[in-house]
Chain A
Amino acid sequence: MNRFLPLILAFLTAACGTISLLAFPQEVAAQAAPAAADQKHAGLDPYKANCASCHAIGGGKTVGPDLKGLKDRVPSRDWVVQFVKDPAGMIAKDAYAKELRAAYPMDMPGQPSLPDNTLADIIDFIFAGGPGLAQKALRAATEADVEIGRQLFTGEKMLAGGGPACVSCHSIAGLGGLGGGTLAAGVGAMNPDLTHAFTRNGGEAGVRAALSSPQFLVMKQVFADKPMSEDEIVALTAYLGERSRQPRQDQNRDYFIVYGVIGAVLLLLLLDLVWIRRFRNVRKTLVGESQ
């Protein structure tokens, strides 16, 4: 058998190499393709993917400042590049950056690995006033949206794009039962309880923008190809707004493990019952005799 081991290893290496070669170029091609589409600005898509959930261009301030007229406000183009790559570093040493930070509710996440040419496209796009960026305001929320939002949150009404319901990873006041998910707690410092997310995220405009192109760690990846519809964003925002007026509630989470242990004990008893005639005495005698 050892004779053939090198052969097998060679095969494995070859298989892996081939698969990697097969796989990775497809990704590159898939990313490059949209840029060639008609005549839209090269910075539009990367702007939407990386900036739009916290910034508007001409739509007013949300979680972050409105980027309209950015060109005239900043000291230089290079200042923008440095700020995007390392906001914390800039805030520490630059007076204007410090002033901006004080005026908004949260740190801007740095984008140190955004490719230079993509960042250049994005800055061109912002300096040009965001050509082609749909500025259509989402419709106003109605009373009915709160209930629809609750159903979307719990999953009673499924997201049309196929994304998992909020409750998969988040909790919120008033859920009942065993409460909501806690995965969100594991992927960052964020509180997975979204009861007060509305106020934390800059109110209606902020939450709507955040849901339009989620930038939160796992959500960004999960919802990249499963975007929420306008109605879903409006309804969820309305529901989060309504919930933010409630006090936070501790969910009955601890019962989960209790139910699990009790259930396991019952299952073990059931197994014992099913095999109640398992010839205990016969076997005991046989084993005893053989020893």
Chain B
Amino acid sequence: MNNFPLPIAAAPAGLPIDDVLFVVVPYVVLALFFVMTIWRYVKDKFSYSSFSSQFLENQHQFWGSVPWHYGILALVAGHLIGFLFPREVLWWNAVPARLYIMETGALIFGVTALVGLVNLIIRRAINERIRAVTSRMDVLILVLLLLQVLSGLYVALFTRWGTSWFAGVLSPYLWSLFTLRPDASAVALLPWSIKLHILGAYAIFGVFPFTRLVHVLVVPNHYLWRRAQVVMWNVRKNSTGGGK
């Protein structure tokens, strides 16, 4: 008889677990993020970087680092715009063709970031020199980033159209956190894939100060416009004691 079970908001909206995951966790993560990031800068300034990833070898690295960074930077910027300017995003999406362009564009950057990240992971796994300087935190952050990109792609493909509902559902939630009136009631009702993506973001923010991700804060921006440079050895390799 009832071939159309309506998902009407039955009362158990907002289980305690959702309040913990989407209200308490973000505040803990934010506190951790700011305190430990500043702490590490004050106490251990020279660790503010990425360890060598053998960038002179760029046959493989090019297809990892470049797609990854362009993809992820575009996506992070997109999420930030959705958070800061939800009404403007809805205005842009008002024309269906523009919505499709925005969604497809975001998906392209997502796939590109995934290609780059997978290449970086493979390169780190098979290159002995990189394996030698890989810490446990490097492995952790790579796993977290991979999960985050995969869950993001799943959300983009199966719970469309994210650019629009982000503005309607997640932007108000994030603002509620920042204005200290946390309201996770809408987030609590979202599908597990989106919840996983949100929690993944918190996990990344949480471990940020303990990983190589801190390089984001000291990124050598001039690399973007400086001229390419050739690194040359001006001594014979036998006299350097370097190499393998």
User: Which residues of chain A have a CB within 8 Å of any CB of chain B?
Assistant: 1, 4, 8, 11-12, 15-16, 19-20, 22-23, 26-27, 54, 102, 105-107, 109-114, 154-158, 162-165, 167-169, 175-178, 180-183, 185-191, 200, 215-218, 220-222, 253, 256-257, 259-261, 263-264, 267-268, 271, 275, 277-280, 282-284, 286-287, 289-291
A92 to B241, CA, bound (A): 84
- The size class of the interface chain B forms with chain A is 35 or more
Q: Does B96 make an interface contact (CB < 8 A)?
A: yes
Q: Does B99 make an interface contact (CB < 8 A)?
A: yes
Report whether B2 and A105 are in contact in the complex, using a CB–CB cutoff of 8 Å.
yes
Report whether B43 and A260 are in contact in the complex, using a CB–CB cutoff of 8 Å.
no
Of B133-141, B154-162, B212-220, the one touching chain A: B154-162
B window 83-134: CB within 8 A of A: 87, 90-91, 93-97, 99-100, 103-105, 107-112, 115
Min CB gap A285→B, angstroms: 10
Q: Does B237 make an interface contact (CB < 8 A)?
A: yes
A159 to B100, CA, bound (A): 20
- Point out the residues of chain B lying under 8 angstroms from A163, CB to CB: 168
Given A109-B8, A111-B11, do A279 and B228 touch, yes or no (CB 8 Å)? yes
Min CB gap B194→A, angstroms: 8
Report whether B186 and A169 are in contact in the complex, using a CB–CB cutoff of 8 Å.
no
Report whether B165 and A16 are in contact in the complex, using a CB–CB cutoff of 8 Å.
no
- Point out the residues of chain A lying under 8 angstroms from B7, CB to CB: 187-190, 216-217
Closest to B186 in A: A221
Q: Does B81 make an interface contact (CB < 8 A)?
A: no
Report whether A186 and B193 are in contact in the complex, using a CB–CB cutoff of 8 Å.
yes
User: Which residues of chain B have a CB within 8 Å of any CB of chain A?
Assistant: 1-2, 4-13, 23-24, 27-28, 31-32, 35-36, 39, 43-44, 56-59, 62-63, 66-67, 70, 87, 90-91, 93-97, 99-100, 103-105, 107-112, 115, 157-162, 164-165, 167-169, 172, 180-183, 185-186, 189-191, 193-194, 228, 230-233, 237, 242-244
- Point out the residues of chain B lying under 8 angstroms from A105, CB to CB: 2, 4
Report whether B233 and A182 are in contact in the complex, using a CB–CB cutoff of 8 Å.
no
Min CB gap A254→B, angstroms: 10
- Point out the residues of chain B lying under 8 angstroms from A220, CB to CB: 9, 13
Report whether A286 and B232 are in contact in the complex, using a CB–CB cutoff of 8 Å.
yes
Q: List 6 A-B contacts (CB under 8 A).
A: A20-B23, A168-B93, A178-B103, A180-B161, A218-B186, A277-B228
Closest to B161 in A: A181
What would 15 more interface pairs be, CB under 8 Å, given A16-B24, A286-B232?
A8-B35, A8-B36, A106-B2, A106-B4, A177-B100, A181-B159, A185-B159, A187-B189, A190-B6, A256-B107, A264-B115, A275-B66, A287-B56, A289-B233, A290-B233
- Point out the residues of chain A lying under 8 angstroms from B100, CB to CB: 177-178
A106 to B27, CA, bound (A): 41
Which of B39, B90, B108 contacts A260 (CB under 8 A)? B108
Report whether B10 and A111 are in contact in the complex, using a CB–CB cutoff of 8 Å.
yes
- Point out the residues of chain B lying under 8 angstroms from A176, CB to CB: 96
- Point out the residues of chain A lying under 8 angstroms from B96, CB to CB: 154-156, 167, 175-177
